[in-house]
Structure 1
Amino acid sequence: MIDVEGVTCRFEAPGRAADGDVVAVDNVTLSVPDGEFLVVAGANGSGKTTLVRTFNGLVTPDEGTVAVNGTPVGADLVAARTAVGMVFQDPRDQLVAATVGADVAFGPENLGLPHEEIDRRVADALAAVNMADRGADRIQSLSGGERERVAIAGALAMDPDHLVLDEPFTGLDEPARRSVLDRLRDLRDAGTSAIVVTHDLRDVLGLADRVVGLSAGRVAVDAPPEEAVAELPGLDVRAPDSLEGGSAGNFGAEGGSAEDLGVEGGTAGDLGADP
């Protein structure tokens, strides 16, 4: 469980006095139960990335508290960062090793796990992002989309209780995106919380149990996807017009039709394409 209570985050703005700081997150309270698939949606600058970075102490709130599994984040950063895996929007911010396999193994190695367990986690994580045979590849040789997949694999290898992914589908082709979606579905079914931060809900809305929409740092929407759809256009995000034509579970499901995926008059491959 992640519990956020009255969290406010401010940042200094050049040329402004202290009382003119930018408020990125404004008095947000929410809880993420174990096993919930949560989509945090909002336009650029809405505060969504700042909010989720408080979940494992990458950002310290100016006001309010964040607790993970009952323990305040500030009281045990190691525990928080083990329990809350984070995939950044730009994979260059978290890739640390020369090769794919070494990078994915970095986190589990720092947990002091046995070699057999590390190897198993690395193999499972790479398979989940369709890179099972790429462990020896050098990071510098990878495309941007491939680097994103390695970053996701690195987070999966930590086997976290809560997995946060910030715009995880940027640069991914359709097979990679589907592989990640399938893995997220498996994690949800196994009881791992998945928190996807995005301004484009067309890939993930149907997997969501709940949508939290931010505007100017405040919670503007907090509802199941069926109810959230009507309010999302006001947040300047991309979302299907409705969930009509199939159940929410059909979104992003392998083998679903274009209509099930919320794409009118197109194919499943049109998901995520610019209009």
Structure 2
Amino acid sequence: MIDLDGVTCRYGGSRGKDDVDDASGVVAVDDVSLRIDHGEFLVVAGPNGSGKTTLVRTFNGLVEPDAGTVSVNGTPADADLVAARSAVGMVFQEPRDQLVASTVGADVAFGPENLGCTHEEIDRRVADALAAVNMTRREDARIGTLSGGERERVAIAGALAMEPDHLVLDEPFTGLDEPARLSVLDRLRALHAAGTSVIVVTHDLRDVLDLADRVIGLADGRVAVVGPPSEALAELSNLGVRLPAGHDP
């Protein structure tokens, strides 16, 4: 479970006496409270600049809020970053930003290695993660030779190898061709069916609206819409996000 209480994030502010924030700067996330349950498929929607990426990066401590608290499975994220980042896997919008090794196997193994897992456990996690994204027996493939869709799947596998309770994907379909997009969607359906929470950040709901249990719509860093897709559609249309054909309110 991920719990946010009054989370606010600013960029460009300054710290004053006793390291107290002076409340200057641009507010990217503004007083957001949110609970994400185990096994939920959540879509975080909104136009570019609405605060989506900043918000989800607070989930595992990649961004520290200026105000408010974030807890993962009952523990404050900033109190145990290793636990938070093990429980909340993150796939960035551009996979190259998180691919750190020259081969597929080495990249997927990177996270478990840093957790101090045994060789046997690392091998198991790598095999399971690659199977989950339909890349079994691709351990020796060079990252530089992969297509955009394959790099996206390796990034997902790297997050899965941490065996997270929650998987966060930031604009996972950007730049993917049709076969790659369908492959990633299939993986997300399977992961959700297996009990992993899936959190998709997007400005384009065409691929994921029908998969979502709940939609959070952001505008100017604040929660403007929250609810199941059927109830959120009318308000989502006012946020500048792209809705699927036939889903106009």
TM-score between the two structures when normalised by the length of structure 1: 0.82
1:267 equivalent in structure 2: none
Show the 5 A alignment for 1:127-138.
Answer: 127-138=131-142
Q: Secondary structure at the match of 1:175?
A: helix
Residues 1:121 and 1:177: Cα distance change in structure 2 (over 3 Å): farther
For this pair of structures, how many residues does the alignment match? 241
For the pair 1:52 / 2:56, whether they are aligned, the reply is yes
For the pair 1:146 / 2:150, whether they are aligned, the reply is yes
Once the 2 structures are TM-superposed, how far is the Cα of residue 168 of structure 1 from its aligned partner? 1.0
Q: Identity of counterpart residues, as a percentage?
A: 77
1:207 equivalent in structure 2: 211
1:198 equivalent in structure 2: 202
In the alignment, the residues of structure 1 paired with residue 97 and residue 223 of structure 2 have an alpha-carbon distance, to the nearest angstrom, of 27
For the pair 1:6 / 2:10, whether they are aligned, the reply is no
Once the 2 structures are TM-superposed, how far is the Cα of residue 242 of structure 1 from its aligned partner? 4.5
Residues 1:174 and 1:227: Cα distance change in structure 2 (over 3 Å): same
In the alignment, the residues of structure 2 paired with residue 79 and residue 120 of structure 1 have an alpha-carbon distance, to the nearest angstrom, of 20
Task: Report the AA paired with residue 50 of structure 2.
Answer: S
Q: Which residue, 79, 90, 110 being the options, matches 2:114?
A: 110
Query: Which structure's relative contact order is higher, taking Cα pairs within 8 Å and 6+ residues apart?
Result: 2
Q: Secondary structure at the match of 1:235?
A: coil
Report Cα offsets for 1:216-266 as digits up to 9, x if no partner: 00001101011112221211111125559xxxxxxxxxxxxxxxxxxxxxx
2:16 equivalent in structure 1: none
Residues 1:233 and 1:243: Cα distance change in structure 2 (over 3 Å): closer
8 Å Cα contact 2:45/2:203 also seen in 1: yes
Report Cα offsets for 1:82-130 as digits up to 9, x if no partner: 0000001111211111101110111122223333332232223223333
Show the 5 A alignment for 1:23-34.
Answer: 23-34=27-38
Q: Which residue, 24, 43, 49 being the options, matches 2:47?
A: 43
In the alignment, the residues of structure 2 paired with residue 68 and residue 146 of structure 1 have an alpha-carbon distance, to the nearest angstrom, of 30
8 Å Cα contact 1:229/1:242 also seen in 2: no
Report Cα offsets for 1:150-206 as digits up to 9, x if no partner: 111111121100111101112323333233222222222232211100111111111
Task: Report the AA paired with residue 5 of structure 1.
Answer: D
2:234 equivalent in structure 1: 230
In the alignment, the residues of structure 2 paired with residue 221 and residue 19 of structure 1 have an alpha-carbon distance, to the nearest angstrom, of 26
Q: Which moved more, 1:148-157 or 1:65-74?
A: 148-157
Report Cα offsets for 1:28-59 as digits up to 9, x if no partner: 01100111100000111000000000000000
Cα root mean square deviation, aligned: 1.9
Task: Report the AA paired with residue 130 of structure 1.
Answer: N
2:186 equivalent in structure 1: 182
In the alignment, the residues of structure 2 paired with residue 127 and residue 140 of structure 1 have an alpha-carbon distance, to the nearest angstrom, of 21
Q: Which moved more, 1:153-162 or 1:178-187?
A: 178-187
Q: Secondary structure at the match of 2:238?
A: helix
1:71 equivalent in structure 2: 75
Once the 2 structures are TM-superposed, how far is the Cα of residue 147 of structure 1 from its aligned partner? 1.9
Once the 2 structures are TM-superposed, how far is the Cα of residue 20 of structure 1 from its aligned partner? 4.5
In the alignment, the residues of structure 2 paired with residue 226 and residue 115 of structure 1 have an alpha-carbon distance, to the nearest angstrom, of 47
In the alignment, the residues of structure 2 paired with residue 149 and residue 32 of structure 1 have an alpha-carbon distance, to the nearest angstrom, of 24
Task: Report the AA paired with residue 180 of structure 2.
Answer: A
In the alignment, the residues of structure 2 paired with residue 120 and residue 173 of structure 1 have an alpha-carbon distance, to the nearest angstrom, of 30
Q: Secondary structure at the match of 2:234?
A: coil
* Structure 1 unmatched ranges of 5 or more: 245-275
Show the 5 A alignment for 1:229-248.
Answer: 229-243=233-247
8 Å Cα contact 1:229/1:240 also seen in 2: no
In the alignment, the residues of structure 1 paired with residue 182 and residue 88 of structure 2 have an alpha-carbon distance, to the nearest angstrom, of 23
Q: Which residue, 96, 99, 104 being the options, matches 1:95?
A: 99
